[in-house]
Amino acid sequence: MGFDFNADDIFAMAQQIEKNGAAFYAGAAKSIQDPTAKAFLEKLSLMELSHEKTFTDMRAQLNEKEKIPTTFDPQGDAALYLKALADTKVFFEKTIDTTSMKEILKAAIEAEKDSIVFYLGMKELVPAGLGKNRLDAIIKEEMGHIRLLAKELTAFRV
């Protein structure tokens, strides 16, 4: 038995993943002593919140067809299921040395890669008529995160 998602479902998960990312960076910033590194992590946290807003705006632009529920859900459990998926696939609890900026950046890059893989997989579950093409914007945002983090990690290796 297959389970299809629509673009609205995926944007809901993307919003939650961004919230989780913001919490990850904010928590990591509290563990770092170096003021420059702390400021960078706080900036990343704010960027994640900004991306959440971007996804909220993108979600609001979906047409009615892209919001059509793909399952019968009289209890409203789908939203809880989607949140659980988002909470356990990217930026979930891992053992990370949050006192090391290098380790934080490596974990963040791994989480961003995980998010791209997650969205690519989810894209296969969204039929073309339900907004499949909209997921490319989410994937592009996540790729931008990786570029920024990789640039910062490279600076730590110098």
Q: Residue 2: which pLDDT band, with cuts at 50, 70 and 90?
A: very low
Decide if 16 is inside a domain. no
Q: What was the pLDDT predicted at 1?
A: 37
The count of domains in the chain is: 1
Decide if 45 is inside a domain. yes
The boundaries of the domain holding residue 57 are 25-63+80-157
**CA–CA separation, 150 and 76 (whole Å):** 39
Q: Per-residue pLDDT tens for 45-104?
A: 998 898 889 888 888 888 777 776 666 555 655 556 565 655 555 555 556 667 788 888
pTM over 0.85: no
CA nearest neighbour of 2 among 125, 135, 121 = 125
**CA–CA separation, 55 and 97 (whole Å):** 30
Token representation of residue 11: 């944007």
Q: Per-residue pLDDT tens for 120-143?
A: 877 777 777 767 777 788 788 889
Give residues with Cβ within 8 angstroms of 2, minimum separation 6.
Answer: 125
Decide if 19 is inside a domain. no
Decide if 140 is inside a domain. yes
